[in-house]
A and B are shown apart, each in its own frame.
Chain A
């Protein structure tokens, strides 16, 4: 039986005070009609009921004028939902995208995604996800570098240690055109592991 996705208060209120103008929610997941956007990857939880209208309404109430739409891993490399959302939003000053990439995704497709506002690659590196070989990781990081994209890592603690040797090489091999940093999402604030991220939050993002 799949894990039920936690529900949330759908009648949220503005925070007190409102966040500063230009505030960005860096991790927004939007799900679509499963008939039109079928799940491509075996997932551990039910698909939540959260569409783009829901997201935009909540962002407006909370005072966030920008958002990064992180394509849910359940769609794997089928980007059709994200493409449709970015086209619908049609506002690159307010919406950007982040995707999962595999070797099978052609460079032309990534360039097309970049034109819509996609600006980063997300990696799921944990035993509960599909295995991501280190050599594939480094190839994909290189693709991000060529596009001028950032990378974001979704890691569990033990897997972070297992990948430490690879992650340590990134700083020395990274050119000025690549950045990677810690962007904290609202949903991550409740995660105790984030309590140690205060240094990441205050350090400047560099390349």
Chain B
């Protein structure tokens, strides 16, 4: 059964500890693409 927290933690593994990349994926790129302030 899917667990949402585990999916997020899987993303952490994909970026391999790169906090800047994680911020780009989760925060700055979505903000830019969707027009969030």
A residues at B contact (CB < 8 Å): 6-9, 12-16, 19-24, 26, 58, 61-62, 66, 68, 93-94, 96, 119-120, 150, 179, 181, 183-184, 186-187, 189-190, 198, 201-202, 204-205
Contacts and interface: CB of A to CB of B under 8 A. Distances in A.
Contact of B8 (A7, A8, A62, A119): A62
A8 B4 contact: yes
Interface string B1-12: 111111111111
Contacts, number: 102
Given A9-B3, A186-B4, A20 B26 contact: yes
A7 B1 contact: yes
24 contacts: A9-B3, A12-B4, A12-B5, A16-B5, A19-B26, A20-B19, A20-B26, A22-B26, A22-B31, A23-B27, A24-B27, A24-B31, A61-B4, A68-B34, A96-B36, A120-B34, A179-B32, A181-B33, A184-B25, A189-B10, A190-B10, A201-B24, A202-B21, A205-B29
A96 B2 contact: no
Interface of B: 1-12, 14, 19, 21-27, 29-37
B1 A14 contact: no
Given A7-B1, A8-B1, A23 B26 contact: yes
Q: Nearest 4 pairs between A and B by C-beta?
A: A24-B30, A15-B8, A23-B26, A8-B2
Chain B interface secondary structure, helix, strand, loop or mixed? helix
Given A181-B33, A205-B32, 5 more contacts: A9-B1, A16-B9, A61-B4, A68-B34, A202-B24
Given A16-B9, A189-B11, A6 B2 contact: yes
Contacts of B35: 96, 119
A5 to B, nearest CB: 11
A12 B29 CA distance: 26
A183 B30 CA distance: 7
B12 to A, nearest CB: 8
B5 A14 contact: yes
Contact of B5 (A15, A93, A120, A201): A15
B10 to A, nearest CB: 5
